[in-house]
Amino acid sequence: MIVKSFKDCKDKNTFQPKKCTPKNYSARNDLAGLLFKNFNLILNPLKMKRIYDFTEGNASMKELLGGKGANLAEMSGLKIPVPPGFTITTATCDEYAKSGGKFPKGLMEEVEKYLAKLEKKMGKKLGDADDPLLVSVRSGAAVSMPGMMDTILNLGINDKSVVGLAAVSGNERFAWDSYRRFIQMFGDVVLEVSHEKFEAEIEKMKKARKVKNDVDLDAEDLRKLVTIFKKVVHSTIKKDFPQNPLTQLKLSIEAVFRSWNNPRAVYYREMNKIKGLIGTAVNVQAMVFGNLGNDSGTGVAFTRSPSNGENKFYGEYLMNAQGEDVVAGIRTPEPISHLQKQNPKIYAELTAIYKKLEKHYRDMQDMEFTIERGKLFLLQTRTGKRTAKAAVRIAVELVREKMITEKEAVLRVDPYSLDQLLHPMLDPKAKKVVIAKGLPASPGAACGTVVFTADEAERLGKRGKAVILVRKETSPEDIHGMNQARGILTARGGMTSHAAVVARGMGKCCVAGAEALEIDSIKKVFCVAGKTVREGDTLTLNGSTGEVILGKIATVEPKLDHDFAKLMSWADKFRTLKVRTNADTPHDAEFARSFGAEGIGLTRTEHMFFQPERILAVREMIVAENVADRKKALAKLLPYQREDFYRILKAMRGLPVTIRLLDPPLHEFLPQEDKEIRNLAKDLKVTEKKLRDRIAFLHEVNPMMGMRGARLMIVYPEIVEMQSRAIFEAAVKLKKEKIDVIPEIMIPIVGMMEEFHSLAEVVRKTGNAIIQKSGVKLKYAVGTMIEIPRACIRAKKIARQAEFFSFGTNDLTQLTFGFSRDDAPKFVPFYIEKGILEVDPFVSLDQRGVGELVQMGIERGRRDKKDLKCGICGEHGGDPASIEFCHRVGMNYVSCSPFRVPIARLAAAQAALR
């Protein structure tokens, strides 16, 4: 059976798939990876093909060749001008890692064979003294990880070949510039010599020559820098800089393999939940040069705007530069539109290529290109990182352009990313002091405390503080701080710089290239427009306009556009799960309804008790010594509760509203401080001793497992009676006003059928009496929150009495793991780091443990009651991975916070489509 699945393979030894049509890329990509990893590596390791020429692969082979290698091969097949080269597979990286970092036996001999083929194509020899071939060595994982792994350019240059390169190019400055770049990059990446040491020497040289930019240094300056750089290397590692090109190549391949597990790459994979990959591929490619003069250049371009999705060619370039000059933000580049004026022929050719690539891949592409003496080359294409706003617009417009289907559009947008669109924006009417303006690199608004290092951003961010990370330019080493920052501000770089690309991928607000900023990272200040901003000051960024604003600015609720509405309408068409919201106020209910909520899955009644005008009556009820006094206190709460339920039911007119009866233990409503206890005793007209005795009596060693929920209400059934009366009286009033309502009363912390029966009887008796007296027809339901493992086990019995189950997976997770949710942050991160847990089980549902209990509860509950309605109302109700599980086990709905309703709608649709 397994062998039959290989019938379409081209080569019986390599199992290289035949070229796929654009419509089945993703399916074949998954298949290629599955076949390769689970069959070829196990059954045929000795014949495993480690290296592929660019002419051998295709885009379906990302698992094996990495995204970069697979797409270079695909572009070669499309006859797009790509410098030739070859790819060392991800499996070889895995081989390197599993051997403890030993260079795979025989690999260098295979590399030399493919290098010989490359030399033949180019008519040059690597490192030749007269006419040298230079190559780049680049990483490339199956999933794009921009800037997280290592790259080496200009490899093959040495003390002899630099002279030949100068002669054959007729450009001595270019040759020495290439050499100093190579020493700097190789020294940093391979030899682990800090790049700051090289930068410091460049700054010294520019200062001595009284020039501002690197490009102002002449050939002699660069030749001197090469000598200085080699001395920097020797003083650091106590060895000479390697001159043998094959030694350079082997060390570079090894460095790229190592970079798969460097801290920033590991952090990026964790941050983006990238799992299941075995390593990075290594791409060895003939160099083409953008720094040969003013007829050469380099750039990065997107087939549509990655910021807002506009169908417009978008990008940046620099003439007389190499690729890292653009992405590292060393120089601020020109917009791609200027290239049309500067070189119409190249611009027309680039336009034709980008249109061809977008049509071929049926998605927005991120391309890197180089112009070498008037000739265009493509160095990379990949599916472009984009903001949520851009993702939605691009998906909808590609459907309109008949490139993709509605189903594909729904699957193209990451549900997690929608969070970017659903939070407040800067109030356009607010007064503001704009102190600088940069490029609107990643949209949105961010306000926070200024910090100047990634480490400080991480430290404060983890403590819950909002920070703005301010840098001259960011580098991949800043990834941990960027992740914790609310916003990122750089003085250098453009729309395709590292800061911009990574921020857009994270959904972080970013303003890049604010060149007026004079940043002193040592003193931790920046000056601009006559103002000085210090670490600890407050700053606001507008990533949609590029404004840098002093102080904190007011925000307004987001407005969602037509494209968002269209995508959501498609999602609603395909999903089967209903999406409700957790809401305790009419405002939250209305807000969630505007986001498409189909009811309320959880209203927490205890939150209503803490309001100032009510808390005294609650406390009076708690200290009461008999039923009559408790009922007297509860009577004071009844009008408040009735009004609460009236307003919430009215806000959700016609939609179901699940109201959870009182859940927390009573001690949570009582003060703990001496002064507050004394004041409360006076207000309640009881002795301080009596109040303290009552507080001591109600104190619990383990409140989470104490007298709360059903247990509390069985001891004090008058609480159930009051809350039920408030619900039914509010519902009847609305029915009389011709407003349809569907109340669902939920009893929490039930572990036994007998508990539920005792309390449900009180609810139904109270409700039926009120309905009968009013003369209106009112449908209602009484159900329970399943949050105790025993309830899952005894679900069949409980379902005989309950009309719905709502899984409270927050408490169910606590009780299943034996973890306290409040204390778990002390140790769960270590569990994740050590691979004991994949994710925090309070963030994403533990499907193998807690999930099995949930599935058991649903299956047993429906054995005798096939139409038992089941939902989830914990925090997991807004987590896409958990929503997929809810769909799979046959729940009727999920419930989540108002802001996460659209995320849940999209995730539910994707679960159904998959």
CA dihedral 209, 213, 219, 220 (to 10 degrees): 20
Query: Which is nearest to 315 in space by CA: 378, 361, 267?
Result: 378
Query: Which is nearest to 786 in space by CA: 728, 869, 882?
Result: 869
Tell me if 300 sits within 8 A of 290, measured CB to CB. no
**What are 178's two structure tokens?**
């290439």
Report the distance separating Cα 716 and Cα 125, nearest Å: 89
Please give the backbone phi and psi of residue 350, each rounded to the nearest 5 degrees, phi first. -65, -40
DSSP one-letter string for 381-438: EEEPP--HHHHHHHHHHHHHTTSS-HHHHHHHS-GGGGGGGSS-EE-TTS--EEEEE-
SS3 content of the chain, % helix, strand, coil (to 5): 50, 15, 35
Report the distance separating Cα 628 and Cα 607, nearest Å: 25
**What are 507's two structure tokens?**
């959904």
**What are 546's two structure tokens?**
């590029």
**What are 400's two structure tokens?**
């309109």
Instruction: Return the exposure string of 682-692: e unless at least 16 CB atoms fall within 10 Å of the residue's CB, then b.
Output: eebebeeeebe
The number of CA neighbours under 13 Å toward the Cβ of 542 is 23
DSSP one-letter string for 511-571: EE--TT-EEETTTTEEEETTEEEETT-EEEEETTTTEEEES---EE-----HHHHHHHHHH
Sequence letter at residue 851:
G
Tell me if 391 sits within 8 A of 555, measured CB to CB. no
Residue in 20, 792, 873, 886 annotated catalytic: 873
Alpha helices in 685-806, H assignment, sequence order? 688-698, 710-715, 717-736, 753-774, 789-793, 795-799
What are the angstrom distances between the C-alpha of 263 and each of 474, 634, 865? 16, 58, 52
Does 498 participate in catalysis according to the annotation?
yes
Does 896 participate in catalysis according to the annotation?
no
Report the distance separating Cα 899 and Cα 343, nearest Å: 48
Residue in 498, 667, 876, 887 annotated catalytic: 498
Is 312 in a helix, a strand, or coil?
Answer: coil
Report the distance separating Cα 766 and Cα 641, nearest Å: 15
Sequence letter at residue 48:
M
**What are 661's two structure tokens?**
């009866």
The number of CA neighbours under 13 Å toward the Cβ of 529 is 11
Tell me if 482 sits within 8 A of 503, measured CB to CB. yes
User: E-assigned strands of 8-93?
Assistant: 51-53, 85-88
Q: What angle do CA 847, 898, 410 make, to 5 degrees?
A: 65
Q: For the chain, how long is the longest CA-to-CA vector?
A: 104
381: CB partners within 8 A, 6+ apart: 71, 75, 357, 361, 365, 366, 367, 368
CA dihedral 194, 198, 200, 202 (to 10 degrees): -160
CA dihedral 116, 120, 121, 124 (to 10 degrees): 100
Report the distance separating Cα 160 and Cα 180, nearest Å: 14
Residue matched to tokens 């910021």? 307
Report the distance separating Cα 729 and Cα 731, nearest Å: 5
Report the distance separating Cα 611 and Cα 605, nearest Å: 12
Q: Which residues are catalytic?
A: 498, 873
